[in-house]
Amino acid sequence: MTETIEIIKRRRCVRKYKPDQIPDSALNEIMECALLAPNAMNQQKWHFTVIQDEEILKKITEVSRENLLKSGSERMVQRASDPDYSPFFNAPTVIIISADSQARFVQLDCALAAENILLAAESLDIASCIMTSPEMIFKSEKGRELMKELKIPEGYEHVCTITLGYRDGDRPEPKPRNKGVITYLK
């Protein structure tokens, strides 16, 4: 088995992080891998907002908490009511991937870049989690103002968010996979 296949098979979403920040050299390597992802017609209509500033992460958490409390979803209200609530599981690094809402195939492009980030991080023994729920952060007036503060380009919208950091605890066990979704025609 190759090293790449081993990395793919051991990567898991992690939801508990140590407070230690990842080094710039590792972050730069991970982001270079994001930029090398395949994308339709090499349009590169994506944007990566990398956040390590604790104050900005706190501000995002508060906007998220506000939005969830107003969501009308009992599950979301319960989650946001937790005094230790963190939309990013207290990860020290958060990457928001956004894209030009008018570009064709951009969701796929961003998914490929996200996968490169996840695998590059795993290869450096940095834990990660990909999530789409942070899109709720940007669904309010405060959230839209926050997009400007985060320097997300005009006309771009949230696609997904990735947390990065060092795992606090054991590697999660793999969840069962449905192998019945594969059809071989030979």
Question: CATH classification of 3-173, choosing from 3.30.70.20, 3.30.470.10, 3.40.50.1820, 3.40.109.10?
Answer: 3.40.109.10
User: 32, 103 in Cβ contact below 8 A?
Assistant: no
Phi and psi dihedrals of 4, rounded to 5? -60, -45
Instruction: Look at phi and psi of residue 90 and say left if phi exceeds 0, alpha if psi is from -120 to 50, else beta.
Output: left
pTM value is 0.94
User: 47, 109 in Cβ contact below 8 A?
Assistant: no
| 3 state SS of 127 | strand
What is residue 85's predicted lDDT score, i.e. its pLDDT?
Answer: 93
DSSP 70: T
DSSP 134: G
- Give the other-Cβ count within 10 Å of 109's Cβ: 25
Both tokens of residue 42? 């090499």
pLDDT tens sequence across 43-94: 999 999 999 999 999 999 999 999 999 888 899 899 999 999 999 999 999 9
Greater pLDDT, 132 or 60: 60
Confidence band, pLDDT 50/70/90 cuts, at residue 171:
confident
Q: In the chain, where are the structural domains located?
A: 3-173
